[in-house]
Amino acid sequence: MTKIKLRPLRDQVMVITGASSGIGLSTARLAAKEGARLVLAARSEGPLRQLTAQIVDAGGQAVPVTADVSREEDVERIAQAALDTYGSLDTWVNNAGVGMYGKLEDLKVEDMRRLFDVNFWGLVYGSRVALRHLKARGGALINVGSVVSEQAIPLQGIYAASKHAVKAFTDTLRMELEHEDAPVSVTLIKPGPIDTPFPLNAQNYLDTEPQHVPPVYAPETVARAILQAAAAPTRELFVGGGGRGMAAFGMLAPGAAERAMAATVIPGTHSGKPPLPPGASALYHPSGKLAERGDYPGHVQATSAYTEAASRSRLIGVGLLGAGLAAALWRASRRD
């Protein structure tokens, strides 16, 4: 079996989709500091050009590509921009995604289809296009899933379904590439709640503005995990011990986990603030803003001890500690 060797970040050409907001924006800024040459893709042309100018002014290298990943031809243009600008491609980060809040019975079918077009099919297009180049040269394909790739969550059911599909696609692709001995590392990144504009940009069917349920982490925690996977072959990585604990709790005690999720997540997702006006979401139109952070009012954890430990040691057993924490949080919530 071929040992996969990834180039140092300073020698890489990296594509990042969804680069104008949240996790993608944080990853782009951090990768630029590490010296990677970047191809930045997003629907928001103005913010994307603003980000590119910031990176170039700081001495980095970046090229913007205005693209909607739900269109296969747009994804082809992203890859071509990498080849035209830098002549090669080393890492492709499928990060673009959209969210949706509401009970499954209330969601419009066309909205659900649109979410899958972006979250699932956009990732499929990106993966297939990237592999045409990565299989010949070697490199990393990094797909951003979610903790809800493992554990469904109420009021975000269709989003969780799309991320379950992302996990199945990514895991199957990895197995097929390993079988043919392709020199490509395939990673699934699984963040927990992250303080990005995700809730503000999501299609919202609730009667209040949605919010994250803690623990909530800074987008830089995910960016560091992505760059770790770009530099060293990594199968998968949870970002946030809380999310890892939730997934482990769901595997070990699914009935109790579902009851806990319903009791805490459903009320916790409602912020009490009036919802944004219809049409404010980024489901069909770009947000038009360059923003890493959201408006989460509570404590945002700047680091994740679990993720840092897992990045260094690949220890799966650490998740059992998270499962105990999740159970303790559930018991505490029942007392409150």
Which residues are CB-contacts of 74 (< 8 A; sequence separation ≥ 6)?
Answer: 67, 68
Rounded Cα distance between 17 and 79, Å, is 11
Relative to beta strand 37-42, strand 91-94 is unpaired
3 state DSSP class of 241: helix
> Can you say whether the dihedral through the CA atoms of 113, 118, 123, 129 is positive or negative?
positive
Helix (H), strand (E) counts: the chain = 12, 11
Active site residue 159: yes
The first and second tokens of residue 96, run together, are 């673009």
Active-site entry in 159, 205, 217, 296? 159
Which residues are CB-contacts of 261 (< 8 A; sequence separation ≥ 6)?
Answer: 151, 152, 153, 154, 246
Written as one string, the DSSP assignment of 67-117 is: --TTSHHHHHHHHHHHHHHHS---EEEE-----EES-GGGS-HHHHHHHHI
3 state DSSP class of 219: helix
Rounded Cα distance between 47 and 67, Å, is 13
What is the Cβ-side half-sphere exposure of residue 102, based on CA atoms within 13 angstroms?
17
Catalytic residue list: 159
